[in-house]
Amino acid sequence: MKVYAFPRGGITFEDPTVPPKDASVVAFLPGISVIPLAQHTGSKAQPVVSVGDYVKEGMLIGRGKGPLSANVHAPVPGKVIRMVSWEMAGGTTNDALVIRMEGSFEKLGKREERYPWEALAPRDLQWLIAEYGIVEMEGEGCPLADVLASLGSVQEDSITLVVRCVFDDPWLVADYVVCQERLKAVVEGSIIMSRASGVSRIVYAVSHKERNLGELLLAESKSWDIPASLVLVGSRYPQRNRRELELVLREYEKKEGLALGALLIQGPATLAAIYDAIRLKKPILDRYIAVGGSAVKTPQVMKVRIGTRIGDIFAECGGLVKEPQRIAFGSPLLGRTVVDLDEPVIKTSYAVIALLKGQIGGTVTRSCISCGECRTVCPVGLDPEAVFKQINGPEQAVADRVAECHGCGCCEVVCPSRLPLSTTIVQAASRRN
Ligand code: SF4
Ligand code: SF4
């Protein structure tokens, strides 16, 4: 079977401090949960409960308001004991409800009711997806209701749903475990998504190293009446980025003589969440995350309740072997540095890492030694060093090139002089927009 890979640049990642991918561990339920009212790209949800109120597991506690905002639900039953203004890295703030766990669970430990959805109209499915606050869990948290609304202008039956199982960064291991442990939910979630959005075909885009997984996904989808196919893609980073993925899918489309139309790309965690919302009537109460890094005693993939604080998560992994140099949500490459161990897991968290000094490398920048590594790895064909140098100059040509960068970070990772190449280029691009 042909493997479709983007033509130039990129990097191959390996990291021995990533947790094993054979199974997940269910984390203890948190006694105290911190539930941010913005776990999505738009404005904060408006709280619909007050301090002193009792909430049930899965109950609506924040109502999304305006574009790109999403509903927020209580992951555990209990009492709202505080509302806090939550300071995030980078100086932004978020409001959060603090819940002390009390009382009995509505969902956990109960027999799962399965609700028929097959007779529901697309509009009903869209409404339910919005009500349950489902967001794109592999990205920045764009609410799916907004994604579906944006498809309104695309002609029905000219959309392909791409199920992205591309593991170009070893820190995506939690997504892999979701595929393994919740394969039926991922597939049925993709069918529901297709019905809700007028999709006419599903393509499972799977890293070629995980061909078996791809074949299992395809076999499971055969029991549904929508055309589906498997395409094996490269495992080099940034293969999962929209630009690189779309490049290879267009090549696949041409080779196979297909007409894929518009591409709706979604990942396994999001599709499993759609299944939970529609088939089980359950909002996002937990998610799989990878916990690891050189400072973590026992790295593992964990199924964690939303709102669990990362200090509690590290404690469950046997604690930290030494004081870490850096703690972050996400991978070492693209992660967001965390300043407080009380920061909670949210819908979009996929990894929590604690790194010792040796895993970070030096932080002192030096002059460029003209090694050319940044040019070699840039998938767009930019000369990151030249763009970086000229960034504050007046040349329009540089401005145009800055806009081509899609912020994959490859150039910065390989630079032996530790120059902040992609960080500077991305900032310049956003200033010029
Ligand atoms: S210049 Fe932009 S696109 Fe090229 S490697 Fe750097 S971050 Fe990636
Ligand atoms: S990788 Fe760094 S040191 Fe090498 S050419 Fe690029 S900017 Fe210069």
Cβ–Cβ < 8 Å for 270, 147? no
Q: Which two tokens stand for residue 155?
A: 């002609």
Q: Which of 77, 79, 31 is nearest to 52 (CA)?
A: 79
User: What span, in angstroms and rounded, lies between the C-alpha atoms of 221 and 348?
Assistant: 26
Whether residues 255 and 124 share a domain: the answer is yes
Lowest mean pLDDT among 37-41, 107-111, 201-205, 381-385: 107-111
Residue 224 lies in a domain: yes
- Ligand with minimal distance to 373 CA: 2
Residue 96 lies in a domain: no
Predicted confidence (pLDDT) at residue 77 exceeds the cutoff of 90: yes
Distance 246 CA to ligand 2 centre (A): 28
Q: Which two tokens stand for residue 55?
A: 């909430």
Predicted confidence (pLDDT) at residue 105 exceeds the cutoff of 90: no
User: What span, in angstroms and rounded, lies between the C-alpha atoms of 378 and 9?
Assistant: 5
Distance of CA 15 to CAs 12, 170, 353, Å?
Answer: 10, 7, 12
Whether residues 380 and 254 share a domain: the answer is no
Ligand 2 contact via 419 beta carbon (within 6 Å): yes
pLDDT at 108: 74
pLDDT at 2: 95
Ligand 2 contact via 373 beta carbon (within 6 Å): yes
Whether residues 385 and 258 share a domain: the answer is no
Q: What is the pTM of this model?
A: 0.94
Cβ–Cβ < 8 Å for 216, 183? yes
User: What span, in angstroms and rounded, lies between the C-alpha atoms of 36 and 50?
Assistant: 14
Boundary of a domain, candidates 219, 249, 279: 279
pLDDT at 327: 95
Boundary of a domain, candidates 223, 254, 279: 279
Q: How many structural domains is the chain composed of?
A: 2
82: phi then psi, degrees, rounded to nearest 5:
-160, 160
Structural domain range at position 398: 373-432
pLDDT at 30: 93
DSSP string spanning 72-84? Answer: EE-SS-EEEEEEE
- Average of pLDDT values for 120-140? 96
Q: Which ligand 1 atom is nearest residue 378's CA?
A: 5
Cβ within 8 Å of residue 175, ≥6 positions away: 138, 165, 167, 267, 268, 269, 288, 350
Residue 127 lies in a domain: yes
Predicted confidence (pLDDT) at residue 89 exceeds the cutoff of 60: no
Predicted confidence (pLDDT) at residue 106 exceeds the cutoff of 90: no
Q: Beta strand 201-207 with 228-233: parallel, antiparallel or unpaired?
A: parallel
Distance 67 CA to ligand 1 centre (A): 30
Distance 423 CA to ligand 2 centre (A): 14
Q: Whose CA is nearest to atom 6 of ligand 1?
A: 411
Q: Which two tokens stand for residue 31?
A: 């006694």
- Average of pLDDT values for 212-227? 96
Residue 25 lies in a domain: no
CA angle 309, 315, 321 (to 5 degrees): 125
Predicted confidence (pLDDT) at residue 154 exceeds the cutoff of 80: no
- Average of pLDDT values for 192-198? 94
Residue 284 lies in a domain: no
Distance 411 CA to ligand 1 centre (A): 6
User: What span, in angstroms and rounded, lies between the C-alpha atoms of 326 and 322?
Assistant: 11
Residue 91 lies in a domain: no
Distance of CA 132 to CAs 146, 236, 285, 335, 395, Å?
Answer: 13, 35, 10, 27, 48
Predicted confidence (pLDDT) at residue 23 exceeds the cutoff of 70: yes
pLDDT at 174: 97
pLDDT at 152: 76
Q: Give the pLDDT confidence of 330-364 residue by residue, as tens digits.
A: 998 888 888 889 999 999 999 999 999 877 766 67
Boundary of a domain, candidates 257, 279, 301: 279
Ligand 1 contact via 422 beta carbon (within 6 Å): yes
Residue 340 lies in a domain: no
Q: Which of 365, 378, 413 is nearest to 13 (CA)?
A: 413
Predicted confidence (pLDDT) at residue 367 exceeds the cutoff of 60: yes
Distance 83 CA to ligand 2 centre (A): 47
pLDDT at 85: 87
CATH number assigned to the domain comprising residue 171? 3.40.50.11540
Whether residues 265 and 377 share a domain: the answer is no
pLDDT at 104: 84
Residue 158 lies in a domain: yes
Whether residues 275 and 377 share a domain: the answer is no
pLDDT at 125: 96
In what helix (H) or strand (E) does residue 312 lie, and over which residues does it extend? helix 310-316
Cβ–Cβ < 8 Å for 142, 136? yes
pLDDT at 361: 65
Q: Which ligand 1 atom is nearest residue 421's CA?
A: 6
Q: Which of 294, 283, 285, 292 is nearest to 310 (CA)?
A: 292
Distance of CA 110 to CAs 113, 181, 282, 419, Å?
Answer: 9, 19, 13, 53
Ligand 2 contact via 417 beta carbon (within 6 Å): yes
Whether residues 393 and 256 share a domain: the answer is no
Whether residues 262 and 377 share a domain: the answer is no
> pLDDT higher for 250 or 430?
250
- Ligand with minimal distance to 9 CA: 1
Provide the 3-class DSSP secondary structure of residue 102. coil
Whether residues 272 and 406 share a domain: the answer is no
Confidence of residue 86 (pLDDT cuts 50, 70, 90): confident
